[in-house]
Amino acid sequence: LKAMDLSLGKIEIKIREKTLTKDPVIIAGPCSVEDAATMRRIASSLKDLGVDVLRGGAYKPRTSPYDFQGLKEDGLEILREIRAEFDLPIATEILDPRHLEKALDVVDIIQIGSRNMYNYTLLEEAGRTGKPIILKRGFSATVKEWVSAAEYILNTGNEQVILCERGIRTFETTTRNTLDLNSVAFLKERCRLPVLVDPSHGTGVRSLVKPMGAAGILAGAAGLIIEAHTEPDKACSDARQTIDMKTLEEIMNLTKQLWRLT
């Protein structure tokens, strides 16, 4: 695998002036893109905190088809306004190659969700855009399957692949998922690609996001992707794992301190 051949050197991915693995990168925002006024309040807070990238899903892959499915194209329009108004790069999930064209001029980083890690056509189409891609780990994927999925993107000639550990399904049901920090330490040692940790989906529990985000940084993550909202209890999806801006600020400060130890 090209991704595991360290003789080729680590892959450097820039997000504005930061380089992944050299500087800790924080991606934060609501689970779903919400109405424009709410998004403006959130973006303004994120900007003040110095968050690097705003996340938010316009297309939402919900387990139940009866749950909120995202604002879709209207959500992309809101992201377009926010991106221009606040000068924040945008990471958003693409569920289907047919959405790529519509999303391309709004999205700075394409997110491939856990449920789509095995969707090789989508991976290739996303790869061909040449944009950086966050590839979330399938919730029952082995590390090898996950890296092999990344290889589909690398094979399009696009090397800007950012892995994201978001927790896996185990026998343990106390938390939503089990954040596999072994994978993070392992990949830092053996893989050319940077790895982010998502302690929001990794735990599913608001109060656990800070400790597990910190643990992710110590395990070798290049940064964190976190669900945050100005009014977490009112979030349209994943409210229980969504943190407020004060907690996000604490996590960012903690990350800076811990980064010096890694």
Site mask for ligand PEP (CB under 6 A), range 49-88, x = bound: --------x---x---------------------------
For residue 45, how many other CB atoms are within 10 A of its CB?
Answer: 20
> Which residue, 17, 7, 14, is CA-closest to 159?
14
| Per-residue 3-state assignment (H helix, E strand, C coil) for 102-113 | HHCCCCCEEEEC
Residue 142 CB, nearest approach to Mn ion (Å): 23
Kindly state whether residue 201 participates in binding ligand PEP, applying the rule CB under 6 A: yes
Q: Return the range that interacts with ligand PEP (CB under 6 A); candidates 66-74, 109-117, 118-126, 148-156.
A: 109-117
Q: How many helices (H) and strands (E) does the chain have?
A: 9, 10
Nearer to ligand PEP, 111 or 230 (CB): 111
136 binds, among Mn ion, ligand PEP, none (CB under 5 to 8 A by kind): ligand PEP
Residue 8 CB, nearest approach to ligand PEP (Å): 28
Which of 43, 82, 90, 136 binds ligand PEP (CB under 6 A)? It is 136
By CB under 6 A, how many residues form the interface with ligand PEP?
Answer: 9
Over the Cα atoms of the chain, what is R_g? 17
> Which residue, 211, 190, 196, is CA-closest to 144?
190
Q: Return the range that interacts with ligand PEP (CB under 6 A); candidates 14-22, 63-71, 113-121, 186-194.
A: 113-121
> Which residue, 1, 65, 68, is CA-closest to 30?
68
Q: Which of residues 3-62 bind Mn ion (CB under 5 A)?
A: 31
Residue 258 CB, nearest approach to Mn ion (Å): 24
The CA-based angle 126-128-132, given to 5 degrees, is: 60
For residue 199, how many other CB atoms are within 10 A of its CB?
Answer: 31
Residue ranges that bind ligand PEP, judged by CB under 6 A: 31, 57, 61, 113-115, 136, 166, 201
